Amino acid sequence: MALVAFIFAGCAAVEVKLRKPRPTSSKYIKKIPQSHERDQVTAWLQRLHSAQNETEANVATRELVAILQERHFAPLDLPPGSLAPRLAVSQANADTINPAIVDELIPATDLEIKGLLSRSLQDGIGVPYVAHFKTGSPQLAGQPGFPRVGMSIPVTALITIHPDGARLSFNQTLRKDHVLIAGRTRQLAADFSAPLAHLISKGRNRLIDFQALIFSDRNINNAGLIQMETYDPKKIPVVFVHGLLSRPEAWMQAANELNADSEIRARYQFWFFLYPTGLPVWQSAAKLRSELDRFRHSLDPYHRNPKLDQIVVVGHSMGGLISDLMVRDGGEHLWRQFSDLPLKNIHLSSTARERLEDMIDFKARQDVSRVIFVSTPHRGSEIALNPLVDLFSNLIRLPLAQFRHEHRSVILAMRSNVRDLFVAPVNSIRFLRARSPLLLSILNLPTRDGVFVHSVIGDRGKGGGIHSSDGVVPYWSSHLDFAASEKIVPSGHGANENLQGIAEIHRILQLASNAGPIALHLKK
């Protein structure tokens, strides 16, 4: 059906299954009475100390973690003559966590994952775990956008043996994936897919969201920026914006693949914008701007962190249109395309005026340095003109209760030749009609100097170049003359989940990592 093809093209949701816990006993240690906890710890420390390979070391580490976990990670004094006088957890710091406050601690290898293109692993020392913190955890204090189900992060358990005692640490590998041991830098083993999949499995875990599209009025309070890791002031935020009928899960393949690169992990942190996709693009863009402001006020109220002035926004499909509005000036440039009457002269309540100005009177953000458009219909799609699609758009319910009675005042202020565009609620699907003046008005807005924009465009075998199409968005709609780069990949509309499309996003982020203060100056 054309409607389904238009609103979304993607893969199945990620599936996660927890394997049955393996018994704590192992073939490496025998004839140790389980009741003798200290003797077990002593034996396992000896096995860890004398391990001939990482497999043996990891088995010992898992056993020792399991023993301490039963004790709620309280320290354990060991018998005289032991390899170390005690086993204790290292004090938490910026790069490690306190396991005693973790709500779930799961060995990463115990999670079976289906649905990801690959599993992002890193070889090294230690045992990868998933640490999950529920809402209300002290670990999440001060985080402005953690998911409602909490947060799952990758950690690696590492036990080091010293004359004064053995110490267990849980290292946050998204912050620091190497440690210094005896004067030697060692890389930590890590699993970056496991916590991502674990967190997704706790949420709605779906790519398509009909409810948020149709009942945009009910879902407006769910809109906002979401973090998948605790804020790191040393990293540049990458904001992923999903498309029509979709959710942030649509970006999980990209986030997973990008996390496989240590340079990307060291330089970037990923944020995701969730919004009800029935809203008109201008309204969703206003919400994203307010969320970026909220995050900045929470994380860096005095604007001292330059990393937060280098944000990269990546938008798929309609999300690309929302992203575009982050780097353009509205105000009179936008309003005069539809009306000859100054906005201030329209009789509106203070609430309605404030809401309208939020959507129309905006400036290009100074904290967004780069925008990546993926399968973005800058000039709309012919599919949105389909009568079935138009019928479907009539079902969308927008949050207009406070504005309904003043809608007529706004309509009458419009020029007669464009008034019909605003008679019906301007929801997202009507916004996306091919060559719609609503869409073209965005392209007519000036962009901020000093911003890079890039295009990733899908082609389903239409011949490439000007003849290409991803089945939903044709090349004539997705192409921008002023883009710093343009990459056509063999993909349908889901280029955000295509390996070559993700590879192009990866290339652009690498380019941004190496870019100096020189920036491209864009024209209208």
Residue 524 covered by a domain: no
78 with 86: CB under 8 angstroms? yes
Please tell me whether residue 500 adopts helix, strand or coil conformation. Answer: helix
State residue 465 phi and psi, 5-degree precision. 60, -140
Residues 93, 330: Cα–Cα separation, whole Å: 44
Residue 521 covered by a domain: no
pLDDT recorded at residue 20: 57
244 with 281: CB under 8 angstroms? no
Q: How confident is the model at residue 426 (pLDDT cuts 50, 70, 90)?
A: low
| Residues 373-401, mean pLDDT to the nearest whole number | 68
Q: Where are the alpha helices (DSSP H) in 305-362?
A: 318-324, 332-335, 350-360
Residues 318-372 have pLDDT tens digits of 999 999 999 999 999 999 999 999 888 888 888 888 888 888 999 999 999 999 9
Residue 77 pLDDT greater than 90, yes or no: yes
Structural domain of 263: 208-514
423 or 495, greater pLDDT: 495
- Least Cα distance to 195 among 310, 273, 116 occurs for 116
Same domain, 152 and 235: no
pLDDT recorded at residue 427: 65
Residue 10 covered by a domain: no
Residue 4 covered by a domain: no
Task: Identify the sign of the CA torsion 161, 49, 191, 204.
Answer: negative
Same domain, 177 and 273: no
User: What pTM was computed for the model?
Assistant: 0.90
Residue 202 covered by a domain: no
pLDDT recorded at residue 49: 94
Same domain, 138 and 269: no
Final residue belonging to a domain, choices 197, 224, 241: 197
Final residue belonging to a domain, choices 197, 230, 256: 197
| Residues 304-314, mean pLDDT to the nearest whole number | 98
Residues 106-145 have pLDDT tens digits of 999 999 999 899 999 999 999 999 999 999 999 999 999 9
Give the count of domains, the chain.
2
- Least Cα distance to 269 among 302, 233, 305 occurs for 233
